[in-house]
Structure 1
Amino acid sequence: MRLAIAALFIVGADLFAAAADPAIEARITRIENGLLPAARIAGRPDEPWTLAARMKHYGVPGVSIAVINDGHLEWARGYGLARAGDAASVTADTLFQAASLSKSVTAVAALSLVEAGQLDLDADVNTRLTSWKILAAPIAAGAPVTLRQLLSHTAGLMVHGFAGYAPDSPRPTLLQILNGTSPANSKPIRLDQKPGAKWRYSGGGYCVVQQLLLDVTKIDFPTLLRERVLVPAGMTASTFAQPLPAPLVAHAAAGHRADGSRVEGDAHAYPELAAAGLWTTPTDLAAFLLSLQHALAGQPAPLSRASVETMLDVPIPGSDMGLGIGVRGTGEKLLLSHSGANEGFRCIYVAYPRTGRGAVIMTNSDEAGPLFPEILRALAREYAWPDYLVAEKTAAPLDPVAFDAYRGIYQREETRLAFFRKDDRFYVQAVDEERQEIFPSSDREFFRLDSPRTYAFQRNADGDVTHVIRREGSAQIFQRVR
């Protein structure tokens, strides 16, 4: 069930008077009315969507966007509702949970301590941990865990991410989280791969970083991060305090589930601060990204140029992960990015530090993931980014009658897909979702314009259609049931 969003599309207040510039306002209008699908049919014009329509389509109550251009924050704006069920609109000042974007900020704090000589990127962190130790494991074969590995998700530690804690739930200490003991709702953080051998995302590794920073500095984490990163980067609205301090609650968005309901207590608390604990705005995260750009240009910033270059090193080739930040491309096409997902919140940032461009998008819904690429494609077109482009595809000729062999219901676990045609056009529809038009790339393979998903029908030895393979990164096989 999708969230019913008011027909009146609420646009929050602009943060900057500069957004009143007619040229910038025209840009914003084009973006708001220019969300784009993943692909277009060659020879056909684009059929863009409005941001309001896509928010309603996905059931996303609120969106906040900040855009970096020419090395400065060009505009920031909020859309929709901060909390379903009341009239509070999202503005550029509305606070959101940054989820895993917190890791990028944590990495800068850790590297600032490396610069200060208090930490070593490549030393055994167990030599500096005093309150807790990473347990030895046979698979480690004596290899130490280092800060570089922890920040780049190559330490071999368990626990991908965290569910947080509802306001009426007991909250564990950091040590209870590390040990996986009650009331922690996650597993113990242990080695199950050889350190440095391969990349695997680990929020658990960032809990170890959190403990390391506490043991080394003897400063509580929110204070340390405020002193080391938030204040120097100009992130004046941000905090790692969990739960959110009472005076800030009125300025915060509530998280929302897929059915449109608000998360218990409006937001879960995340004592896993280094991994997921930041409350912030797109404007503040844009300031953070600009601080990295300033460092790379040799300008004053929380980190030196050398430290940011180290941050952008990718220890495991092909992982596209530096120290707390996603890294792709080179030169002017160097792209920094990270996405985040807490209960009821989704967010993403992208930045081209060599050319001073980028954006931050924050939302208050579990359902916002597919909305991000649509917004990013609109931004990419408007600002001439080298990525997030609309792919051009060619539809193969297919007799509509031939499609009838594929019509039917296909099932994988609890998910059912219906394939049908109407007015000689072909469609797929999942349960409780809108139908989506599909286009033939061959006599048995089909693609969508709104997403990268493809569908390939399979026949048995007798020529009967028995399965369809849905691909979007990985392959999922659905069996025909009628």
Structure 2
Amino acid sequence: MAYDVRRAAVRLYPHAAQEPSRVRSPRARRTARNVHRFQGMSVLRSLLALAALLGLALLGFTQAAFSRAGFAQPVNVCLAPLPTTFGTPAKPLTGYSDRSLEPFDRVMTRLLERYQIPGASLAVSKDGRLLLARGYGWADVEAKEPVHPDSLFRIGSLTKPITAVTVLHLGEQLVRQGRFPNLETFLQARVYELLALEPKGGQLGDPRIADITVRDLLQHSAGWNRNVAGDPMFRPTLTYVARSLGMGEAMPVQPLIEYMFSRKLSFTPGTFSAYSNLGYAVLGQLIERLSAQSYAAYLQKMLGQMGIHHITVGHTRLQDRLPGEVRYYDFPNAPLVPSVLDGSMVPRPYGEFYLEAQAANGGLVASAPELVKFVAVLEGHRPEASPISPEARKIMLERPPLPQYKGSKVYYALGWSVRPEKNGLMWSHDGALAGTRTLLLRLPDDTVIAAFFNSRPWNDWSFIADLKNSLLNAAQQVTRWPGYDCF
């Protein structure tokens, strides 16, 4: 009887068939541990335990019934109902939502099917309230581990807005300590003087490097243009830099920056904006220099004060992935590449780049709900204190006085792509690595959407445009936003 009860429980929670120690998601691991306890139980205790699991399922069905009937939903709305499936072949759908938010489910399930992506996560908030947290498809295809709402994903360049806020937070801290008279003075400070790094060969390769300011780094106007001189954070430029230094490609970020300080700039700082991973890597070093802490330590302390505890620096190798982190997949038939670590042939997500050196420009992992909460707390919609003042937040989103942005519909501010709309500002950022695609949207009506995927399609530009437009359309289709809050 105990075996039959356990088998019934496994039918409800398929991931519970695995040994708990082999399940990576903390949420799934707890369920597996509880189901394995059915072994050896008495008949009565087994039935009681199964009743508890069925009770959780009933709560999920009850929530849906309340929603359809138009009644106020019970306080337990945030308890996820039983996983369901979508697509062909069937893939798991986990987490919680509301009937009024079904347009978001339709978008995500369609995209996974159309672009052959194993798994994804989506979180949606309104006015600082978390309303949807979903997992779609597989976190690990081989292990049949579903994506859960709190699964961790590499977020790529979505790291940059977090680094930008961290820099502003540090700047205001330094102002309070009397090291700068005000935040604007900090933003205009010359980075080369603050860092005290020695360029390779002992001399700046371009005297204009000494004029780069903190603001220039934040708004990509420091003078580096990857379309002209390549991106030293990635191959093939990374390979060239490593050979020039006599180092492996898995090098720390400091010698790479020192090398780039010995090279020519592509344009005069403060006159043009060109997207730069290197600039944000320099900001990571600046945080370490001025705070006397590692980037990760300073960031986690700031995030902890925001009630966020699982955004952290990721790792390059598959065997080093974090508990609860998804597995990353290249697009079908993608080639293997030599690993930056040891030269062995590996899938691109696990060796084409050295993630540890990209902590400040693209190396963080996060869950979708926590990234949505990051924006909610940042804007002052949560009980936790915002990491920056309203004045700093205003500066963060201002249009830079660069010629290319005069009259433009979109501009890159301090860490965010900003689009003025009739009813306010839409700010956003996306991220991409081999095996990763992410998008964060903050709409003028205080809707925040975070979508993460564990593969990057070969037709990436088509995919990201489809994703963004479809999520915006889904938000417009919502006629009634639920009143609950699952943060």
- Say whether the fold is shared (TM-score over 0.5): yes
Cα 1:124–1:94, aligned 2, differ >3 Å: closer, same or farther?
A: same
Q: Distance in 1 between matches of 2:224 and 2:349?
A: 31
Q: 2:462 maps to what in 1? A: 370
Cα 1:190–1:63, aligned 2, differ >3 Å: closer, same or farther?
A: farther
Q: Distance in 2 between matches of 1:304 and 1:179?
A: 33
Which of the residues 229, 251, 258 maps onto 1:172? Answer: 251
The one-letter code of the counterpart of 2:274 is R
Q: 1:359 maps to what in 2? A: 449
Q: 1:238 maps to what in 2? A: 311
Cα 1:180–1:131, aligned 2, differ >3 Å: closer, same or farther?
A: closer
Cα 1:210–1:234, aligned 2, differ >3 Å: closer, same or farther?
A: same
Which of the residues 286, 292, 296 maps onto 1:218? Answer: 292
The one-letter code of the counterpart of 2:424 is K
Cα 1:330–1:305, aligned 2, differ >3 Å: closer, same or farther?
A: farther
Q: 1:310 maps to what in 2? A: 395
Cα 1:8–1:138, aligned 2, differ >3 Å: closer, same or farther?
A: closer
Q: CA deviation at 1:192?
A: 2.1
8 Å Cα contact 1:12-1:92 kept in structure 2: no
8 Å Cα contact 1:225-1:240 kept in structure 2: no
- Greater mean alpha carbon deviation, residues 297-306 or residues 72-81: 297-306
The one-letter code of the counterpart of 1:87 is K
- Greater mean alpha carbon deviation, residues 59-68 or residues 116-125: 116-125
From the two aligned structures, give the one with the greater strand fraction.
Answer: 1
Q: Distance in 2 between matches of 1:263 and 1:180?
A: 29
Q: 1:263 maps to what in 2? A: 347
Q: CA deviation at 1:211?
A: 1.4
Q: 2:473 maps to what in 1? A: 381
Q: CA deviation at 1:52?
A: 3.4
The one-letter code of the counterpart of 1:108 is V
Once the two structures are superposed, the pairs formed by residues 416-431 of structure 1 within 5 Å of their partners are none
* Secondary structure of the structure 2 residue equivalent to 1:349: strand
* Secondary structure of the structure 1 residue equivalent to 2:160: helix
Q: Distance in 2 between matches of 1:136 and 1:179?
A: 9
Q: Distance in 2 between matches of 1:232 and 1:32?
A: 32
Q: CA deviation at 1:343?
A: 2.0
Q: 1:335 maps to what in 2? A: 426
Q: CA deviation at 1:139?
A: 7.6
Q: Distance in 2 between matches of 1:245 and 1:221?
A: 23
Which of the residues 129, 149, 160 maps onto 2:216? Answer: 149
Q: Are 2:140 and 1:83 equivalent residues in the alignment? A: yes
Q: 1:292 maps to what in 2? A: 378
Q: Distance in 1 between matches of 2:461 and 2:145?
A: 23
Q: CA deviation at 1:335?
A: 0.3
8 Å Cα contact 2:159-2:362 kept in structure 1: yes
Once the two structures are superposed, the pairs formed by residues 244-283 of structure 1 within 5 Å of their partners are 249-259=322-332, 263=347, 266=350, 269-270=354-355, 271-283=357-369
Q: CA deviation at 1:93?
A: 1.4
Q: Deviations over 1:193-230 (max 9, x none)?
A: 100010100111111111111111110111011112x2
* Secondary structure of the structure 1 residue equivalent to 2:146: coil
8 Å Cα contact 2:204-2:262 kept in structure 1: no
Cα 1:207–1:377, aligned 2, differ >3 Å: closer, same or farther?
A: closer
* Secondary structure of the structure 1 residue equivalent to 2:411: coil
Cα 1:190–1:113, aligned 2, differ >3 Å: closer, same or farther?
A: farther
8 Å Cα contact 2:197-2:258 kept in structure 1: no
The one-letter code of the counterpart of 1:13 is T
Q: CA deviation at 1:263?
A: 3.3
Q: Distance in 1 between matches of 2:210 and 2:293?
A: 29
Relative to the length of structure 1, the TM-score reads: 0.64
The one-letter code of the counterpart of 1:213 is I
Cα 1:129–1:143, aligned 2, differ >3 Å: closer, same or farther?
A: closer
Q: CA deviation at 1:127?
A: 1.6
8 Å Cα contact 2:314-2:322 kept in structure 1: no
The one-letter code of the counterpart of 1:347 is T
Q: Are 2:91 and 1:10 equivalent residues in the alignment? A: yes
Q: Distance in 1 between matches of 2:449 and 2:298?
A: 26
Q: 1:104 maps to what in 2? A: 161
* Structure 1 ranges of 4+ moved more than 6 A: 244-247
8 Å Cα contact 2:378-2:388 kept in structure 1: yes
Q: 1:455 maps to what in 2? A: none
From the two aligned structures, give the one with the greater helix fraction.
Answer: 2
Q: CA deviation at 1:177?
A: 2.2
Q: Distance in 2 between matches of 1:333 and 1:339?
A: 20
The one-letter code of the counterpart of 1:116 is Q
Q: Deviations over 1:16-69 (max 9, x none)?
A: 5xx3xxxx1x23433333x4xxxxxxxxxxxxxxx4343232121111111122
8 Å Cα contact 1:346-1:369 kept in structure 2: no
Q: Distance in 1 between matches of 2:259 and 2:454?
A: 28
Q: Distance in 1 between matches of 2:462 and 2:415?
A: 23
Q: Distance in 2 between matches of 1:73 and 1:241?
A: 25
8 Å Cα contact 1:177-1:188 kept in structure 2: no
Q: Deviations over 1:228-252 (max 9, x none)?
A: 2x21333222112545897863411
Cα 1:138–1:240, aligned 2, differ >3 Å: closer, same or farther?
A: closer
Cα 1:211–1:189, aligned 2, differ >3 Å: closer, same or farther?
A: farther
8 Å Cα contact 2:192-2:210 kept in structure 1: no
The one-letter code of the counterpart of 1:310 is I
The one-letter code of the counterpart of 2:396 is M
8 Å Cα contact 2:120-2:454 kept in structure 1: yes
Cα 1:116–1:256, aligned 2, differ >3 Å: closer, same or farther?
A: same
Once the two structures are superposed, the pairs formed by residues 441-460 of structure 1 within 5 Å of their partners are none
8 Å Cα contact 1:263-1:344 kept in structure 2: no
8 Å Cα contact 2:193-2:210 kept in structure 1: no
Relative to the length of structure 2, the TM-score reads: 0.63
Q: Distance in 2 between matches of 1:210 and 1:31?
A: 35
Q: 1:423 maps to what in 2? A: none
* Secondary structure of the structure 1 residue equivalent to 2:452: strand
Cα RMSD, aligned residues only: 3.4
